[in-house]
Structure 1
Amino acid sequence: MSADRKSIPVSIPDGLVEELDKLVAEGKFGSRSDALRYGARLVARESRLKRLHEETAHRAKQDVEDRLERKRVR
């Protein structure tokens, strides 16, 4: 294992193991680990995108509120 990776134990249901094995057998992934890493990257990416969306929406809402407040003050 390379220095930039960390091994973590994981337990998953038998049915999911079978699905992973099918994906490996079909050549979609080189191993179960490859498939799980791909899935983890997807989850992490979705989480980052959700946070980015929430932060952007919050900033946009704050910008609108600030502009409305400046109009009221004039």
Structure 2
Amino acid sequence: MSTDRKSIPVSIPEGLVEELDKLVEEGTFGSRSEALRYGARLVAREATQKRLHEQTATSAERDIEERLERKRVR
């Protein structure tokens, strides 16, 4: 195993194991581990995008509030 990876125990429902096995058999993934890594990357990417979206929305709201306040002060 590569030194840049960490092994973690994972328990998943039997039905999901069967789906993973089908994906491996079809050649979509080389192994269950590869499929699970792909899924983990998707989850992490989605969480990152959600955080960035929330940060952008918050920043935009603050910018609008500041601009409106400056207009009121004038």
Specify the TM-score bucket, using the shorter chain as the normaliser: over 0.9
Please tell me the residue identity of whatever aligns with 2:49. Answer: L
Structure 2 unaligned residues grouped into runs of 5+: none
Percent of paired sites with the same residue: 80
Structure 1 unaligned residues grouped into runs of 5+: none
Matched, 1:32 2:57: no
Aligned length: 74
| SS of structure 1 residue aligned to 2:65 | helix
Q: How many angstroms apart in 2 are the aligned matches of 1:3 and 1:37? A: 16
Q: How many angstroms apart in 1 are the aligned matches of 2:73 and 2:67? A: 10
Matches within 5 A, 1:25-64: 25-64=25-64
